[in-house]
């Protein structure tokens, strides 16, 4: 089994690796940022595909990966995992409909509530202990979904018309513009930035570069919060105006 994922701050990577480890000890797991992902997909019939939900929609980088490789999906059997901080409606459905359009069969869907990764907006902020409990609950749900998968009883979260309506009216209609294009982000404080280059190395879009000792961003941000969460100077914001908490799944590793 091959797993393909995108993860800004680590939640989705954790979820898909745990799921795959439980269903197939010999699985392959690749990020869409990995240059070998496309050839790995072309060699497989059945794929687990995972991503975080942004505004009840696909992150632009994920939508582009799916549509740029539209010929890849014909005849594939795809199980979709969507991670989210609170609510997505049809988080799995948003990619499932695209995959189907490109000729894939959707064999199931799984929604996983994980800690919210947006660290510059006050809403939804949880304490580290609460986050650990959220991760523990997700881990339990993953294990149970993996067992069902192995027994041939695949969950179908996010895939039917009721989820679709919930996603559409719950959020997507109001926020449809937010993930349509890449954005002119992140905002980097030139006073705080020391030009360490961390963000430049980590950005999945290669949207940040160091110029005259300072990080400078372009207009191709997919809003994944990886740079935000990894900036040692707390010099970066994206949606909000101040750094409240930098979320990184690895801070919780081994503690869930």
Q: Could you list the residues that contact ligand FMN (CB under 6 A)?
A: 7-12, 52-56, 83-88, 114, 116-118, 171, 223-225, 249
Please, which residue, 7 or 230, has the CB nearer to ligand FMN? 7
84/55 Cα distance (integer angstroms): 9
Q: How far is the CB of 253 from ligand FMN (least distance, A)?
A: 13
Please, which residue, 102 or 175, has the CB nearer to ligand FMN? 175
Find, among 100, 118, 93, the residue nearest to 170 by Cα.
93
Q: For residue 233, count CB atoms less than 10 angstroms from its CB and return exposed for 0-12, middle for 13-18, buried for 19 or more.
A: middle
Q: How far is the CB of 158 from ligand FMN (least distance, A)?
A: 12
Helices (H), ranges, the chain: 11-23, 37-42, 60-68, 91-101, 128-150, 161-167, 173-175, 198-202, 226-230
Q: How far is the CB of 177 from ligand FMN (least distance, A)?
A: 12
Q: How far is the CB of 110 from ligand FMN (least distance, A)?
A: 13
Q: How far is the CB of 56 from ligand FMN (least distance, A)?
A: 5
200/49 Cα distance (integer angstroms): 26
Please, which residue, 73 or 225, has the CB nearer to ligand FMN? 225
Strand order in the sheet with 28-31: 28-31, 2-5, 46-52, 77-84, 105-113
Please, which residue, 42 or 162, has the CB nearer to ligand FMN? 162
Q: How far is the CB of 152 from ligand FMN (least distance, A)?
A: 28
13/29 Cα distance (integer angstroms): 9
Q: How far is the CB of 52 from ligand FMN (least distance, A)?
A: 3
Centre a 10 Å sphere on the Cβ of residue 188 and count the other Cβ atoms it contains.
21
Task: For residue 133, give both structure tokens.
Answer: 């409990």
Please, which residue, 121 or 210, has the CB nearer to ligand FMN? 121
128/112 Cα distance (integer angstroms): 18
Please, which residue, 2 or 116, has the CB nearer to ligand FMN? 116
Contact 78, 50 (CB under 8 A): no
Please, which residue, 210 or 239, has the CB nearer to ligand FMN? 239
């Amino acid at each position: 089994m091959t797993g393909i994922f995108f993860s800004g701050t680590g939640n989705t990577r954790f979820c898909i690796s745990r799921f795959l480890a439980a269903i197939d000890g010999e699985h392959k797991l690749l990020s869409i940022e990995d240059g070998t992902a496309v050839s790995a997909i072309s060699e497989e019939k059945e794929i687990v595909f995972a991503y975080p939900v942004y505004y009840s929609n696909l992150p632009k980088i994920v939508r582009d990966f799916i549509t740029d490789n539209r010929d890849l999906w014909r005849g594939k059997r795809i199980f979709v995992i969507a991670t989210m901080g609170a609510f997505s409606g049809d988080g799995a459905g948003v990619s499932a409909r695209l995959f189907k359009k490109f000729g894939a069969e959707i064999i199931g869907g799984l929604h996983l509530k994980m800690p919210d990764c947006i660290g510059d907006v006050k809403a939804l902020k949880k304490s580290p202990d609460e986050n650990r409990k959220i991760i523990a609950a997700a881990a339990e749900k993953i294990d149970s979904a993996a067992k069902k998968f192995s027994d041939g009883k695949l969950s179908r979260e996010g895939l039917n018309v009721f989820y679709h309506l919930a996603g559409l009216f719950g959020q997507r209609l109001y926020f449809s513009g937010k993930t349509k294009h890449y954005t002119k982000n992140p905002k980097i404080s030139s006073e705080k930035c020391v030009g360490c280059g961390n963000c430049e190395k980590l950005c999945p879009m290669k949207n940040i570069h160091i110029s005259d000792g300072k990080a400078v961003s372009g207009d191709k941000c997919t809003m994944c919060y990886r740079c935000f969460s990894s900036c040692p100077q707390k010099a970066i914001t994206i949606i909000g105006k101040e750094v409240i908490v930098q979320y990184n799944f690895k801070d919780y590793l081994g503690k869930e």
